[in-house]
Amino acid sequence: MSEAQTPHFILSSGKTITGTLVWYYFICEREVWLMSREITPDEDHEALEVGRAVHEIFYNRMIKEFSMEGMKIDLLKRGERTICEIKTSSRFVKASRFQLLYYLYRLKEDLGETFSGWILVPQERKRIKVVLNETAQNSLIQVLQQIKKIADLDKPPPPVKNPFCRKCAYRDFCWC
């Protein structure tokens, strides 16, 4: 399959870009590189455990975790044709928005289904609507192309300190 025929969400290695990889693109390019090589973070890291707890406590009566290759959608309201991404904070709204845009794009591309999307931040009582329109889709495709470039690097980008580093599950790969 030529590059022009390869879907936007497939890496040159043949692996599928994940929604988590899209999210991390806006946080840290080094994490994108590590994740693209399936180097996993500290799974017992406190921030990851808090995220899991929020999923369990809130929205426990809804259909949870609809999965497809490269996607793990937190909530699916099939009758309403709505998907939701649950976050512990609205601090990284742009990253969360693109993660959700990725899921909306994949549902459209893979299943021919159009859904609406919401970012839910239960602890802040926030709901942020996300719509996959032509402009958003074009921006997402540019992000996917950048992720592919990072994943194709021979070595990881150098570590860059940002506010996320302090609570990062990958911090031992950068600062030890």
Is position 165 within any domain?
yes
* Reported pTM: 0.84
Whether 6 is covered by a domain: the verdict is no
Report yes or no: 119 and 100 within 8 Å, Cβ to Cβ.
Answer: yes
Structure-token pair, residue 81: 């044709």
Alpha helices in the chain (DSSP H): 19-25, 29-36, 46-57, 93-106, 134-151, 172-175
Please indicate, yes or no, if residue 118 is contained in any of the structural domains.
Answer: yes
Residue 12 within a domain: no
pLDDT digits (tens, 9 = 90+) for 134-151: 999 999 999 999 999 999
13: left (phi over 0), alpha (psi -120 to 50) or beta: alpha
Domain that includes residue 36, residue range: 19-175
Task: Specify the pLDDT at position 67.
Answer: 80
68 occurs within a structural domain: yes
pLDDT in tens, 83-127: 999 898 888 899 999 999 999 999 999 989 899 999 999 889 999
- Of 78, 155, 84, the closest CA to residue 117 belongs to 84
Q: What is the pLDDT of residues 34-53, one digit of tens each?
A: 999 988 876 654 554 555 55
Asked whether the beta carbons of 65 and 72 are under 8 A apart, the reply is: yes
Into how many domains does the chain fold?
Answer: 1
CATH code for the domain of 115? 3.90.320.10
Residue 168 carries which DSSP code? -
